[in-house]
Amino acid sequence: MTPEELDRTDPEAAIAAAAKRVSNWGRWGGDDVRGTMNFLDSAKRRAAADLVRTGESYSLSQSFDMDGPQKGWRRRTNPIHTMLDTGTDAVAGAQGFPHGIGGADDVIAMPLQCSTQWDGLGHIFDHGVAWNGRPADKVVTSLGDAVTGIETIADVVSGRGVLLDVGRVVGNSLGMGDELPDGFAITENHLQDTIAAQGSSSTVGRGDIVVVRTGRLARARRDGWGDYAGGDSPGLSFTTADWLHRTEIAAIATDTWGFEVRPNEFDVAFQPLHQVAIPHIGLFLGEMWDLDALADACATDGVYDFFLTAAPLPVTGAVGSPVNPIAVR
Amino acid sequence: MTPEELDRTDPEAAIAAAAKRVSNWGRWGGDDVRGTMNFLDSAKRRAAADLVRTGESYSLSQSFDMDGPQKGWRRRTNPIHTMLDTGTDAVAGAQGFPHGIGGADDVIAMPLQCSTQWDGLGHIFDHGVAWNGRPADKVVTSLGDAVTGIETIADVVSGRGVLLDVGRVVGNSLGMGDELPDGFAITENHLQDTIAAQGSSSTVGRGDIVVVRTGRLARARRDGWGDYAGGDSPGLSFTTADWLHRTEIAAIATDTWGFEVRPNEFDVAFQPLHQVAIPHIGLFLGEMWDLDALADACATDGVYDFFLTAAPLPVTGAVGSPVNPIAVR
Amino acid sequence: MTPEELDRTDPEAAIAAAAKRVSNWGRWGGDDVRGTMNFLDSAKRRAAADLVRTGESYSLSQSFDMDGPQKGWRRRTNPIHTMLDTGTDAVAGAQGFPHGIGGADDVIAMPLQCSTQWDGLGHIFDHGVAWNGRPADKVVTSLGDAVTGIETIADVVSGRGVLLDVGRVVGNSLGMGDELPDGFAITENHLQDTIAAQGSSSTVGRGDIVVVRTGRLARARRDGWGDYAGGDSPGLSFTTADWLHRTEIAAIATDTWGFEVRPNEFDVAFQPLHQVAIPHIGLFLGEMWDLDALADACATDGVYDFFLTAAPLPVTGAVGSPVNPIAVR
Amino acid sequence: MTPEELDRTDPEAAIAAAAKRVSNWGRWGGDDVRGTMNFLDSAKRRAAADLVRTGESYSLSQSFDMDGPQKGWRRRTNPIHTMLDTGTDAVAGAQGFPHGIGGADDVIAMPLQCSTQWDGLGHIFDHGVAWNGRPADKVVTSLGDAVTGIETIADVVSGRGVLLDVGRVVGNSLGMGDELPDGFAITENHLQDTIAAQGSSSTVGRGDIVVVRTGRLARARRDGWGDYAGGDSPGLSFTTADWLHRTEIAAIATDTWGFEVRPNEFDVAFQPLHQVAIPHIGLFLGEMWDLDALADACATDGVYDFFLTAAPLPVTGAVGSPVNPIAVR
């Protein structure tokens, strides 16, 4: 299916059809809480360690501070970091500790999805149904996600990462430099073209963590955040649902706010690919990752896979988590 | 020096003397902000990748929730996790999204050192002076740590980890099972004995991240938190400062609240080893790590080193960070 | 009905019967959002102003800080107050403002019912039904109380206050000093006896804000918080529901955590009087008020009514609010 | 002194001269922590009660929610209100309480000066010196204001309020309707003209709480917040410092973000009148009050004074407080 073949007036039918094609419900048993992370096992992790060649490491995280992109949509703010103790207090003699010791300490308040993040399996529902067919109201209450909280994958997310620099490959092929324009829908063809152009280190398969660079963050870094959070953006086409399922990847992340193309590919819609990918495929989505430095390194030596650790903070019952993903090449 | 040789009445002199012996000020230039993380370079990281044998992974993180050990000391509370959107709302039709999509979203408020964590270099001062000799009031104000914020090591903390299971080795040699009692000061001899007992995979050297299991967390897990946060505990002796310096390790973490033995080894004192280790050695300290499952695995096959990624969340200007450390063996 | 006549095994039937007797549903129309605050009109407020005799004022608020009674039950913590800017920073020259101006600024994070507070009408439901018969899921979602948020009474709560010092009157009559013991159920007879003993300034009627002192806070102040928050306490008997309704009071507050007697008067129960008073009577309940200084003043001159302003903070959609009630005599 | 006589190039000298003229240091003893609130005693409060004529009440508070004016300047955000329990959860049967009781509960995180507020005496310093001549670093550390925390006036702020509707009086006299334009400096003459125009109920004297309406909030309500928080605004001229002192008022509040005119009346300046009023006069300033409904009522019957209760939330050590001021006429 291509984006042109979508009936823009009927997202609900398109979602239902896609969900039927790609569902992984029951694949790992009725009790499963890890979805596609089941693809990432010790053997995959073992093999991934061989990808470390020089030992250079890259943080794929944006910073966490008040200068971030959030504008308060549905109470998603930037992180608010305040100090409990400071160096100025220590110097002023205000702390009352013995033998000259002084200290600083701090607190943060933030939405768990305010900056570089994982979406957990409890983040999105389809008609009130969560991953593996569970009623959403039996999964996520005000007390959090009692079933698929992000802590269930605390020890999993370490393995082979593959960068697909669609921004660079497709962007340049279209004469747009290293960045895709807002509203650009990345299709399966674009993904395949990128893999082909990047060469053999870019093959995508079971248990991989795929990171897709669109160039959207590079643009925000240069031009200001603007509507980075929630506004128009390049991103994956709704039609990639089958590829996301067929490849048996463990997770996928982008350098954009919302993973999928925005405006979405239906007349009236909100993140329809999420509605398929999370509750039906059981797929973990990463958003707002910073892939630019890694992409430069990959472009220089032509090697696009690496050992990636992107362990969520195990906040009990969380439906998402901030993360500092580390790629070692 | 042994604990018995310490003059319990004069921590200030002992701290000053130790600081003089172990200072790394200027070692990496006057502008340095990474301290002992400078020991952990790409070559070390490259070599560490060879330690992955089976690909099993272990999270060394405690959970982040209201059931943690914090009791409010200096406003250190347990994490408060609240929901912005829930599954019950989605099912109740209260969200107003199109085509049947529903979602859950969440927020956290927490001290950055409430659970498994890194102490940053701006966390502790000696007589108003921070790492590398900087005046503490020029480093950490109410706006945060403008110099050595935890974000400066966002991409570093991945390399060789070594478990020293002092709790098991020394605890059993003293007939105490796998746990050291509260107030037990771990000396250099205990560390050396543990290395010797565990065998060749336990050697400690430049750039390593050492994790020391005391058994304190296992006890809290069994008996309840009690005074885990701030109360009595086994931990490193003040006299290990020279070993911490001489070994040129990049970082060290324990399964205790406060890294060093408590009560501290002076009559009136508060965390004197911190006062030497952080501002003078420039050493990163990890606290409240959960080492029990990893320790069981190491004891089973007798291999104590592994590939460890413990990337802090890059909260700009933070003097510490929550972390989910991942050990891959 | 007396407490002895309650069937301790069947709270649900007792609640249903009481609800039927005291319901105010529809009394102020189907759209009503103010419940018993409708009794407090301008005429009542006008008359209350005459109660000001000397102009002395009393704050009936406990402090808001980390030293409060909360222990984390259902994530109810004490307030966490942190500074955004400090005097030490100003003196250290760290703020960068012109012409020698410096400043301090601060932030708070707190449950809205952590200290002296009002319960709003969206705080309690009976079998999923809220005040005036509305389905609770149409009233309070994760976005807050869209109907009866505390802001709806922002301008109302100013009028005649009456102190019923049951602790002093009944406590002393029973030889227990000025404090009722934990588990003591205050009945209508106790309320009437107190009114009679205190004299004519203590009559209770339409539109009044009644404040009931039990002595529980005085005990906590002397002996430590202990289980003040959620533990055993004197408080109103379930059987006072009819009095609460018949008197047509606008609101009622106590110096206890939970208003009603604890343990509750059924074998297995949780705050059954709330379940009648809030959704059925539409009554506003105040908790954790500090009535001791006011009670001393009233006991001295024998005048028990006063002008009371207890305006909630108009947090949009809140189901409760911190408050600093001011009594002027 | 008129605004025209100010040397725009030298705010520091102007501030020093004004501070010398208007200082109240020592007026109430060296230990004083209440500043001009000392003017508001029981006798004043007693007399103010006579101003209640009809008993109508007005809340002078803006709402507290995410739709407020804050834009993150120095981490001042709008309030973030989240739910701990909801009606949807209650209806979904997710709460586990007995006998059909259900509940909702909530949390707020907010800067204490995010919406309608009092500035406390620890909020502003002059060259590192706080109210009554205390070194600012001995007053406000990371632990809060240990001396003049807002709790020190918890029981005071109830007395005579006087509305000066400068927006209406001066605005109309200048043909600008009921609103003063941004950048309009309200001088002593404007205040006197307003008092004269409004008549005898508007006299200002010892212990009064003056509320000055500029019309700035009405404009924001109509046109959107824009730069209401921190941007240009009408407000009091720096030259009113002597009037603020001479009148012996207890407090003064406006419907603007920053009380004084913005841009300030010097070439390079930041809130110079604060620097005189708070640390030198010891005056309490209210900001972001909503005076429009009250102003309409006063204009209708020509009576401009009333009984005002504006009790801060007693957050221990706070340098400011949210407040819901209640005017009863």
**Percent residues over pLDDT 70 in chain A:** 100
Give D291-311 as a DSSP string.
Answer: -HHHHHHHHHHT--EEEEE-P
**What's the mean pLDDT in D68-88?**
95
Chain D contact residues (CB < 8 Å to A): 66, 72, 75, 77-78, 80-86, 88-89, 92, 94, 109, 137-138, 141-143
Contact B143 C94 (CB under 8 A): yes
Contact A42 B55 (CB under 8 A): yes
Q: In which band, very low, low, confident or very high, does the pLDDT at B233 lie, cut at 50, 70 and 90?
A: very high
Nearest CA in chain A to C107: A82
Residue whose entry in the numeric block shows the structure tokens 């620097």: D275
Q: C26 and C100: one domain?
A: no
**What's the mean pLDDT in B169-185?**
95
**Percent residues over pLDDT 70 in chain D:** 100
pLDDT at D2: 86
Say if residue A306's pLDDT is above 90: yes
Q: Which contiguous run of DSSP H or E holds residue B252?
A: strand B251-254
Say if residue D1's pLDDT is above 90: no
pLDDT at D308: 98
Say if residue B126's pLDDT is above 90: yes
Contact A75 B84 (CB under 8 A): yes
pLDDT at C243: 98
Contact C141 D324 (CB under 8 A): no
φ, ψ (nearest 5 deg) of residue D159: 175, -150
Q: B98 and B18: one domain?
A: no
pLDDT at B1: 74
Q: Find the CB nearest D151 among C63, C312, C317.
A: C63
Q: A12 and A149: one domain?
A: yes
Contact D159, D311 (CB under 8 A): no
d(CA D36, CA D152): 12
CA dist list (Å): A106 to A298, B148, B154, D213: 37, 14, 18, 39
Contact D75 A84 (CB under 8 A): no
Say if residue A18's pLDDT is above 90: yes
Amino acid at A124: I
Contact B78 C86 (CB under 8 A): no
pLDDT at C2: 86
CA dist list (Å): C73 to A33, C227, D111: 28, 11, 25
Which of C61, C92, C108 marks a domain boundary?
A: C108
**Residue-wise pLDDT tens digits, C245-294:** 999 999 999 999 999 999 999 999 999 999 999 999 999 999 999 999 99
d(CA D283, CA D276): 9
Nearest CA in chain D to A78: D72
> What subunits make at least 3 CB pairs under 8 angstroms with B?
A, C, D
Nearest to D122 by CA among B97, C83, A119, B29: C83
Give the distance between the most distant pair of CA atoms in chain B. 74
Nearest CA in chain A to C142: A142
**Percent residues over pLDDT 90 in chain D:** 97
Say if residue D319's pLDDT is above 80: yes
Q: In which band, very low, low, confident or very high, does the pLDDT at C201 lie, cut at 50, 70 and 90?
A: very high
Q: D50 and D132: one domain?
A: yes
Nearest to D235 by CA among D256, D210, D208: D256
B to D CB pairs, distance under 8 Å:
29
Give the total number of structural domains in chain B.
2
Q: Find the CB nearest C85 among B82, B92, B142.
A: B142
**Residue-wise pLDDT tens digits, D123-162:** 999 999 999 999 999 999 999 999 999 999 999 999 999 9
Give the structural domain span for A83.
Answer: 79-108
**Residue-wise pLDDT tens digits, D245-289:** 999 999 999 999 999 999 999 999 999 999 999 999 999 999 999
Nearest CA in chain C to D94: C128
pLDDT at A2: 86
Q: D30 and D85: one domain?
A: no
d(CA D38, CA D147): 16
Q: Is the peptide bond before D325 cis (omega within 30 degrees of 0)?
A: no
d(CA C320, CA D85): 12
d(CA B304, CA B291): 12
Chain B contact residues (CB < 8 Å to D): 80, 82-84, 86, 88-89, 91-92, 94, 107, 109, 142
d(CA D155, CA D311): 7
d(CA B231, CA B183): 10
**What's the mean pLDDT in C170-180?**
94
Q: D277 and D303: one domain?
A: yes
Amino acid at D289: W
Q: D93 and D44: one domain?
A: no
Q: In which band, very low, low, confident or very high, does the pLDDT at A1 lie, cut at 50, 70 and 90?
A: confident
Q: D162 and D92: one domain?
A: no
Q: B23 and B54: one domain?
A: yes
Contact B126 A102 (CB under 8 A): yes
**Residue-wise pLDDT tens digits, B145-176:** 999 999 999 999 999 999 999 999 999 999 98
Nearest CA in chain D to C9: D99
Note if the pTM is more than 0.90.
yes
d(CA D144, CA C242): 46
Q: A138 and A90: one domain?
A: no
Distance from CA of D14 to the nearest CA of C (A): 10
Residue A224 belongs to domain with CATH number: 3.50.30.50
- ipTM higher than threshold 0.90: yes
CA dist list (Å): B32 to B39, B132, B274, C122: 13, 7, 19, 55
**Residue-wise pLDDT tens digits, A48-66:** 999 999 999 999 999 999 9
Contact A83 C83 (CB under 8 A): yes
Which of A108, A125, A154 marks a domain boundary?
A: A108
Which residues on C lie below 8 Å from A81 (Cβ)? Answer: none
Contact C88 A94 (CB under 8 A): yes
Q: Find the CB nearest A86 among C80, C86, C109.
A: C86
Which residues on A lie below 8 Å from D94 (Cβ)? Answer: 137-138, 141-143
**Residue-wise pLDDT tens digits, C23-72:** 999 999 999 999 999 999 999 999 999 999 999 999 999 999 999 999 99
Q: C9 and C95: one domain?
A: no
**Residue-wise pLDDT tens digits, A65-120:** 999 999 998 899 999 999 999 999 999 999 999 999 999 999 999 999 999 999 99
**Residue-wise pLDDT tens digits, B273-315:** 999 999 999 999 999 999 999 999 999 999 999 999 999 999 9
Contact A46 B54 (CB under 8 A): yes
Distance from CA of A21 to the nearest CA of D (A): 31
Mutate to test the interface with A, among C65, C74, C77, C82 (most CBs of A within 10 A): C82
Which residues on A lie below 8 Å from B156 (Cβ)? Answer: 57
**What's the mean pLDDT in B185-207?**
98
Nearest to A256 by CA among A308, A216, A312, A300: A216
Contact A42 B58 (CB under 8 A): no
**What's the mean pLDDT in A8-19?**
98
CA dist list (Å): C209 to C62, C239, D54: 18, 19, 19
Q: In which band, very low, low, confident or very high, does the pLDDT at A234 lie, cut at 50, 70 and 90?
A: very high
Mean pLDDT for chain D?
97
pLDDT at A45: 98
d(CA B302, CA B201): 8
d(CA A160, CA C45): 71
Q: A99 and A160: one domain?
A: no
Contact A86 C88 (CB under 8 A): yes
